Structure 1
Amino acid sequence: MPALNGFLWLVSYWLIGEVTVYFTGLPVSSGVVGMLLLTATLAVWGRVPSTIAAAAQPLIGLLAMLIMPGVVGVFFILDELAGQWLAILCALIVGTLLSVTTTLWLLKRLLEKMHAR
């Protein structure tokens, strides 16, 4: 039952993201907006409730399956991307570096906080 409650939280934040994108016209995925709002909420709370953790844990195992359709879809528009390889390469490199840097920074902060206790 805790996983169901946590899944309800996750879906609620996704719907909040959907409404936000619809009314603001942001060119961002509603899932991204919802997860950013959830992240902000959890940062304010200072912890992840066990219900949300119970719902999120099985979804992490399915993450590759959720990403795969977008990756496969790229093969159908390769001719449209032909002249933009430099921009794509730059975006991949910069995005990867930012992602790794942010993850390491967050991990360092969380480990420092954990060792301080």
Structure 2
Amino acid sequence: MLLLRGFLLLTGFFLLGESIAFVFDWPVSGGVVGMILMTLFLMLRGRVSEDLGMASQSLIAFLTMLIMPGVVGIYFLGEELAGQWLAIAGSLVIGTLLSVLTTLWLMARFMPRADREPTHD
């Protein structure tokens, strides 16, 4: 039952984001709007409930499959993107580097530091 409530909460935020993006005609994905709303909700709440955590952990195993449709969609845009390969390759490289650097910085900033010197007893 916890898993079902977690999926229901995730689906609710997704549908809320889709509705807001549609009503206000925003050029942003409804999933992104829903994710921002869920982040704000969790920040105000101050914790992640057990059901949401369980549903999120279950979805991580399928992350590659959830991303795949967007990647496959690029295949059908090949002709429109043919003349812009340098810009696409550059943005992929720079975006990947920035993503990795941001992740490393956040890990260094928020993870507890382990003792680097071994103790001699």
- CA deviation after TM superposition for structure 1 residue 62, in Å: 0.5
Q: Distance in 1 between matches of 2:74 and 2:32?
A: 20
TM-score (norm 1): 0.83
In structure 2, the residue matched to 1:78 is 78
- Amino acid of the structure 1 residue aligned with 2:110: L
In structure 2, the residue matched to 1:93 is 93
Matched, 1:108 2:111: no
Provide closer, same or farther for how the CA distance between residues 63 and 95 of structure 1 changes in structure 2, counting only shifts above 3 A: same
C-alpha distance after superposition, 1:3-45 (max 9, x if no partner):
1111111011101101110122221111111112212222233
In structure 2, the residue matched to 1:51 is 51
- Amino acid of the structure 1 residue aligned with 2:70: G
Q: Distance in 2 between matches of 1:38 and 1:12?
A: 10
Give 5+ residue unaligned stretches, structure 1.
113-117
Provide closer, same or farther for how the CA distance between residues 58 and 102 of structure 1 changes in structure 2, counting only shifts above 3 A: same
Q: Distance in 1 between matches of 2:13 and 2:94?
A: 28
Identity of aligned pairs, percent?
Answer: 54
Q: Secondary structure at the match of 1:98?
A: helix
- CA deviation after TM superposition for structure 1 residue 53, in Å: 0.6
Question: Which structure shows the higher helix fraction?
Answer: 1
Q: Aligned pairs, how many?
A: 113
Larger radius of gyration: 2
The aligned runs of 1:26-65 (5 Å cut-off) are 26-65=26-65
TM-score (norm 2): 0.81
Moved more, 1-10 or 90-99: 90-99
- CA deviation after TM superposition for structure 1 residue 89, in Å: 1.8
Provide closer, same or farther for how the CA distance between residues 93 and 102 of structure 1 changes in structure 2, counting only shifts above 3 A: same
